[in-house]
Structure 1
Amino acid sequence: MNTKQLEYFLATVEQGSISSAAKVLDVAQPAISLQLANLEHELKIKLFERNFRGVSLTLAGTQFEEHARLILNQINTAKFDLIGLQTECKGKVVIGLSQSLCNVLSVQLQTELEHRFPNVELAFRVGPSYMVESWFAEQQIDIALCYNVELSKHAASSLALMNENLYLYISPRPKNPSYSELTLYGSIPFEALQDYELFMPDRRDALPKLLEEQAHKRGIKLKTRNAFGQLMTTLHYISQGFGLAIYPSSATCHLEVNHQIRAIKITEPELKREVYLRLADHQHKNPAVAAVFELIRETTANLHADNSWRGELLDSKYQQQSVINIESAVAG
């Protein structure tokens, strides 16, 4: 049963014939007849008596009419409530996140926000993970995406969003001869990374800490060089065949799609890191911030589904749900 069937049913009741209902609704008569037949088949009852003058309700049809009007009224009420919610959601929301997360989330998030909450202004404050944590602690941002387990696991306003995979990235056509053999690899053990020089972000950031921890466990030392200040500059350098780096797919999805860069899976161990979504305590009752918080959750699920952001989706709320659930969630 769907709303179209209910609308066609009530229009036919009000007009007294299918042909008259078709004119009022500006719909082909066979389309209405088909929907009414499907409705009767699903309900396993006869709703109309048909004769040369038109149609009249059966006893069961009369009882169903009351339910149909009630259902449509409830749906319309819900729509009006959601429209009201959208107008309440207004103001500026500041999100703090890393360059890689901004790369994968920003465009889709901004597009959906403009469509569904046009009165909300979104601002991205991008920086290394340790800076995002500092901004959040100082209440300079409303929402944070971060990697610090200790900070997030004790916070009531925090949830584990994604356990993202990390890969070794290389150009499909490396210009450094020492990288040539890597073009044949689909995977590489972590210990073998010590044989190659890797671009590395600021050592205060979450990624170098994770890599150094794994290297220390295995008694090896990674050869590193400072990455360029901007993620896109480093990735451009790698795509031109001049270097290697370890990143999540969130950082590289646009380049992978265009075959400008290639991912090699890291094994023994398979490298992952958890991404956490945190809501500032002082913004708990702000409808605009709540809407953006929920929209990030849904956007993450969508990006995971289309393989742009690879890993284990830890927050499954929007994995199989429809768009309208965001507004419902924000409503309470």
Structure 2
Amino acid sequence: MDIRQLRYFIAIVEQGSFSRAAQILHIAQPALSLHVRNIEADLGTQLLFRSPQGVVPTEAGEILLRNARIILDQLVVAEEEIRGHRNDPSGVVRLGLPGTVSEILSVPLITEARRRYPKIQLRIAEAMSGFVLEWMRDARIDLAVIYRKVSDAGLATVELLEEELVFFAPRRGLGEEIALPPSGKPLRLADVAGLPMILPGEDHGLRSLLDQHARAARVEMNVSIEVDSYSNIKELVAAGFGCSVLPLNAVSREVQAGSLRSWSITDPPIRRSVHLASSVERPMTNAVAAIRDLVRELLHELSENGRWAGATAVRESRSDSKGVV
């Protein structure tokens, strides 16, 4: 017995006639009669009785009629609820962000999510990109913004942005013994690799990217201090302990304030990719899909209006993986 057969049965009882029901349902009368016989065979009892006044339900037929109406009414309710949920999503969405992304994205994302989707509870957790990825792998979050592609079979990622990395040093220089390039001059990585560098540790994603470019340029980075925190790196550089390479957006305020000076690296240009990750092993709720699309929209907007300094939107949203890379 299926939904279609229940509709047929209700129509026969309401019309009191197989022929009139067949006309309304646009089905041949013999086929309609066959459906009723199949229902009766499944239930093991007679459901309809042909009287001089027309077709009427038996006692068992009355029971089926009452429940069939409840079932079809509930189906309509479910359909309306599902459609309404799609248009007005609700539920909890857990988003993982690196701290540097959260500084730019969290406030506009929360503000816009509250405006568009008041029934969604958005929970944002911050950590380094590597930890955010681990949360994603452990299913502790629904969406993640990370700084690299992944090869996990259970994750799908899409590249949204590229951001520029720049060389920077203290405004007053590093002393008379260490000469810095003229301000505004584009640099090669080889020009600065020998200077005392303050960089994240070797397990940090940004450090891995810099080491990769250094190997490609056949130079060795002169790392004098290792510390993962961007704020600590900037403070140490401003104090004259060395220089560094970080995303332009991470140092733009200090450069504008005059405590640091920055240079573009053009040979080779060093850019870091920003990716949005989601699970392909769990069904995506309408709420998660809504926040996913909003994150993509806002990240592109932040790069276009200059609030994310040095970022360029990847126009065609290149897909890194569809579960498998």
Q: TM-score range by the shorter chain?
A: 0.5 to 0.7
Deviation digits for residues 249-297 of structure 1 (CA, Å, limit 9, x no counterpart)? 3423444454544331112111112221111235643222222211211
Q: Tell me the residue number matched to 2:105.
A: 105
Identify the residue that residue 305 of structure 1 maps to in structure 2: 304
8 Å contact from structure 1 (residues 190, 269) kept in 2: yes
Please, which moves more after superposition, 242-251 or 115-124? 115-124
Letter of the 2:270 counterpart: L
- Cα drift, residue 156 of structure 1: 6.9
Q: Name the larger-Rg structure.
A: 2
Amino acid at match of 2:218: G
Write 1 or 2 for the structure with the bigger share of helix. 1
1:166 match = 165
Aligned length: 235
The CA distance in 2 between the partners of 1:136 and 1:194, in whole Å, is 35
| Equivalent AA in structure 2 for residue 201 of structure 1 | P
Aligned pairs for 1:72-111 (under 5 A) are 87-91=88-92, 93-111=93-111
For 2:115 and 2:137, the matched residues in 1 are separated by 31
Q: What is the DSSP-based 3-state SS (H/G/I as helix, E as strand, rest coil) of the residue aligned with 1:134?
A: helix
Cα distance between partner residues in 1 of 2:228 and 2:193: 23
- One-letter amino acid matched to 2:187: I
Please give the secondary structure, in 1, of the residue aligned with 2:295: helix
Shift of 1:240: 4.5
RMSD of aligned residue pairs (Cα, Å) = 3.1
Given residue 279 of structure 2, which amino acid in structure 1 is its aligned partner? Answer: A
User: Quick one: structure 1 residues 253 and 144, their matched pair in 2 at CA, closer, same or farther if it must change by over 3 Å?
Assistant: farther
SS in 1 for 2:220: coil
Structure 1: unaligned runs, 5 residues or longer: 1-81, 318-332
**Residue 264 (1) aligns with residue 263 (2):** yes
Cα separation, 2, equivalents of 1:176 and 1:205: 29
| d(CA) in 1 for partners of 2:121, 2:259 | 33
Check 1:121–1:264 CA distance in 2 against 1; reply closer, same or farther (3 A cut). farther
Contact 1:99 1:251 (8 Å CA) reproduced: no
Match of 2:209 in 1: 210
Higher alpha-carbon deviation: 93-102 or 159-168: 93-102
Question: If the length of structure 1 is used for normalisation, what is the TM-score?
Answer: 0.61
**Are the counterparts in 2 of residues 172 and 260 from structure 1 also a CA contact under 8 Å?**
yes
Return the offset for 1:128. Answer: 2.7
SS in 1 for 2:262: strand
Residues 89, 290 of structure 2: 8 Å contact kept: no
Match of 1:244 in 2: 243
Q: Residues 90 and 150 (structure 1 numbering): CA distance in 2 closer, same or farther, change over 3 Å? A: closer
Correspondence 1:97-136 to 2 at 5 A: 97-136=97-136
Q: Which runs of 5+ in 2 are unaligned?
A: 1-82, 318-325
Partners in 2 of 1:207 and 1:235 — Cα distance?
Answer: 15
Structure 2 CA distance for partners of 1:280 and 1:291, relative to 1, 3 Å: same
